[in-house]
Amino acid sequence: MSLANRFGILGLAAALIGGMAEPSAAVPWTRGYVVGTYEFAFHYGGRAGFTRAGEVEPGSDCTHGSTVHFANPDRIKQALSRQRWRDPHDIDNIAAPPGLEKVPGPATTRFSIWGRAVSYRAWKKGIETYVNPFAAEDTGQPEVTGRISDGLDLDNNPNTGFTSPDGRKGVDNNLYRAWGCDAPWRGNGNATLDLRANDKMQDGLFTVAIRISGTNDPMNDDDAIVEIGYSPDKIIKDARGNIAADYSYRLPRTTQYTKLKARISNGVVDTEQVAELHMPHIAWIYDHTGDAAFHQGKLRLTMKPDGTMLGIVAGYRDWRDVYNQNTFAQSGGEQGVREHEDAIALYYALKRNADGMKDAVSGRYLGISTAYRITAAPAFVVDPDPARPVGINVLTAEEARKKSYEAVAAAMIRATTTRVPQPVPPGTQEAASPRLEHIIVGLPSKDYFLKMLDRPHYAYEQDKEGNELKDMPADPGPQPSKPQRQVSNGVPSR
């Protein structure tokens, strides 16, 4: 049954009949796949296997290696010294918190203080800078200097963009140019956030299914169809932890589904370019799962003889969505300190390299050319049973957190559109309050930091007379709750 799936049940039957009789009319064929790895198509220019403490090797793509924002106390001082309103003595204490040796978790305490401090780097005190990145100074993002990139030609101009590894000209992938040297996205198959997102996808966070069909020959067909989108079924693994072949996955027509016309030549599938291409976007937390809207999107897929597939999904994505999905998965400060990236620098790099979706009012580009790389295993991709309609799985226990993510993402877009600083929505991870207050409770210098560091202030922190509570209550926003079943538009998933 496996062989029949990989080469198309009807196509195989036609081939057998054709060998015993006169040539007959073309027979419909179908091939299905489930995506096993899914990541930004960044072309690593360093040597595979190279290691050096604290650095990913410089290469043809990034001559200075990866970013090192917030990597150590000196880097923290450098970031905070850009704000003229900061007292140099305070900067020194933030970089090396007094009494740190007396707490049981010094690293967590230090990083939490750093995260709160770097979240307030605007031109004046009180403005949270990840929600309002325009209010902070561009700290500088090293950009890709290489000329080779994975991706597709989106503007039909071979004289712009990169050259692909196989020699195609005009490859448009400015997200790679902007972010290709960012530490957590850079590596040779081992980039931190690639590994995190793929691990979560393979463990059931979301599933991407692809179905290719035609009427001629699976390897050469001028009238093929490609369907790609979200599946409510979790990925099945084999005993070795690899993506298992030939399991069934439903492909409902959700908002994360697209159907495209395609041509196939020698097993390479090139789809038409459509105004909007929808499918799930890269995610590693339920909060920021959702639709990846590619404007002027298309796919190039290669069906391999062993039944697997690899390919590229490309188009122009709203760079503000890309910023939000990366920054607010946790919080900008937390991810920045942990991953040595600065979302403020990433914001300016996106804005600087935007090259599509020109806004008629402002005249600015709101889109950035983007390419995602995928690999996929053979699968049976089927239509859902009409008697049991399915959609996108909803984790009811996490919906409040997801709504908080959507609120902070909307605040960022509103801020950058109006140029009016926006407050941090309550209950979000970006608020990080009272998280820090709880973490530093045992620090001898805690009162100094609580007074000196900026943070959001909310009405729930006041008593009935409007006085701020001395012992701040727990954040009334999203809280962990008991596990609940996944549901798909009200229908329990399999």
Cα separation, 224 vs 218, whole angstroms: 9
The answer on 159 and 135 residing in a single domain is: no
Is 322 in the same domain as 336? yes
- Name the average pLDDT for the chain: 87
Q: Which of 374, 391, 408 is the last residue of a domain?
A: 391
| 436: in domain | yes
End-to-end CA distance of the chain: 23
Residue 487 lies inside a defined structural domain of this protein: no
- Type of residue found at 407: A
Residue 65: inside a domain? no
| Residue indicated by tokens 């339920």 | 286
Burial 262-277 (b: 16+ CB within 10 A, else e): bebeeeebbbebbeeb
Dump pLDDT digits (tens) for 274-323.
999 999 999 999 999 999 999 999 999 999 999 999 999 999 999 999 99
Same domain, yes or no: 45 and 185: yes
Question: Which is nearest to 288 in space by CA: 205, 412, 176?
Answer: 205
- Give the per-residue pLDDT at 474: 47
Indicate the DSSP class of residue 254.
-
In a domain? residue 66: no
* Edge-to-edge strands, sheet with 491-492: 393-395, 486-488, 491-492
Distance from C-alpha of 306 to C-alpha of 222, rounded to nearest angstrom: 23
Whether 242 and 340 map to the same domain: the answer is: yes
| Of the residues 391, 426, 443, the one at which a domain ends | 391
Q: How far apart are CA 290 and CA 283, in angstroms?
A: 8
Residue 164 lies in a domain: yes
Residues 291 and 434 occupy one common structural domain: no
Domain contains 323: yes
Per-residue pLDDT 10s for the chain (494 aa) are: 454 455 554 444 444 444 444 555 578 999 999 999 999 999 988 776 665 555 567 888 898 888 999 999 999 999 999 999 999 999 999 999 999 999 998 999 999 999 999 999 999 999 999 999 999 999 999 999 989 999 999 999 999 999 999 999 999 999 999 999 999 998 888 889 999 999 999 999 999 999 999 999 999 999 999 999 999 999 999 999 999 999 999 999 999 999 999 999 999 999 999 999 999 999 999 999 999 999 999 999 999 999 999 999 999 999 999 999 999 988 999 999 999 999 999 999 999 999 999 999 889 999 999 999 999 999 999 999 999 989 999 999 999 999 999 999 999 999 999 999 999 998 788 877 778 888 998 999 999 999 999 988 876 665 555 555 555 444 444 444 443 344 444 333 33
Say yes or no: 423 and 281 in one domain: no
The domain boundary, picked from 335, 363, 391, lies at: 391
> Same structural domain for residues 21 and 104?
no
Tally of domains within the chain:
2
Domain encompassing residue 440 = 73-140+397-461
16 found inside a domain: yes
Report if pTM > 0.95.
Answer: no
CB 458: neighbour CB atoms within 10 A?
A: 18
Q: Which of 402, 422, 404, 400 is nearest to 413 (CA)?
A: 422
Task: Verify that 213 and 327 share a domain, yes or no.
Answer: yes
